[in-house]
Amino acid sequence: MDQRLAELVEELTTSGQPRLEPGRMKELKKICRSSEEHLSHAYHLLMTRLNEEHAEMRFSAFQIVQELFTRSHQFRTLIISNFQELLELTVGIDHEQPLPPPKEVAQKLRQAAIKSVQEWHEKYGEAYKKLSLGYHFLKQNKKVDFQDVHARTVAERRREEEKQKRLDNIYKEKAKRAEKEMEEMSQEIVNILTEMENCFQLLLP
């Protein structure tokens, strides 16, 4: 059964489809319901997928997490016990570890994760203290605006600002080089004109 569970997780997270295939998802949920061991195994398989350096895999894995989170107290406990890592892998709260490409899918993943955290907090926050802490951590420390449709974290905004600064510096350097080249050319033109004038003076009686 564990083998089949691993196959289902792999198939669901490598399909490249934006939505989970209903038949496989139904089979996966059935296996997870059959025992706590299988559910725990599914959790570890999904966390492995969430660590992949590919946003589509992470997005698919997170969609499975969403499905199981609302259906199982044990699964919620497992996810919340490692909540910070989940946030790092789906929201991108660590400035040093941005979400992997493709960028468009990474944005969808971030939006889905932030929306889920808000919904989970509203529904389960009182029962799971760590979930509530995670929500407030995103809101207060990472300045996540849960009303922002783009759901940008402070880390993402900082990356964008740094990228803009780098571009500005590049443009400034180019402008300085162009200005310097113009000055050098101007001096060269002056020198040529001076030489020409001297030549004319030598030629003229």
Residue 182 has a pLDDT of 78
pTM: 0.70
Distance, CA of 198 to CA of 51 (rounded, Å): 74
Task: Report pLDDT digits (tens) over 1-24.
Answer: 889 999 999 999 998 788 899 999
**pLDDT digits 0-9 by tens, 96-113:** 888 999 999 999 999 999
Helix residue spans in the chain (DSSP H): 2-13, 22-34, 36-50, 55-69, 73-81, 83-90, 103-124, 129-136, 154-203
Cα(85)–Cα(91) distance, integer angstroms: 10
The tens place of each residue's pLDDT in the chain, 205 residues long, gives 889 999 999 999 998 788 899 999 999 999 999 999 999 999 999 999 999 999 999 999 999 999 999 999 999 999 999 999 999 999 988 878 889 999 999 999 999 999 999 999 999 998 999 999 999 888 888 777 777 645 555 566 677 778 788 877 887 888 788 787 777 788 888 788 887 777 777 776 5
Structural Rg of the chain based on CA atoms: 29
Spatial distance between the Cα atoms of 24 and 12, rounded to a whole number of angstroms: 7
Cα–Cα dist 43/152, whole Å:
27
Q: In whole angstroms, how far apart are CA 86 and each of 79, 113, 135, 180?
A: 7, 9, 12, 51
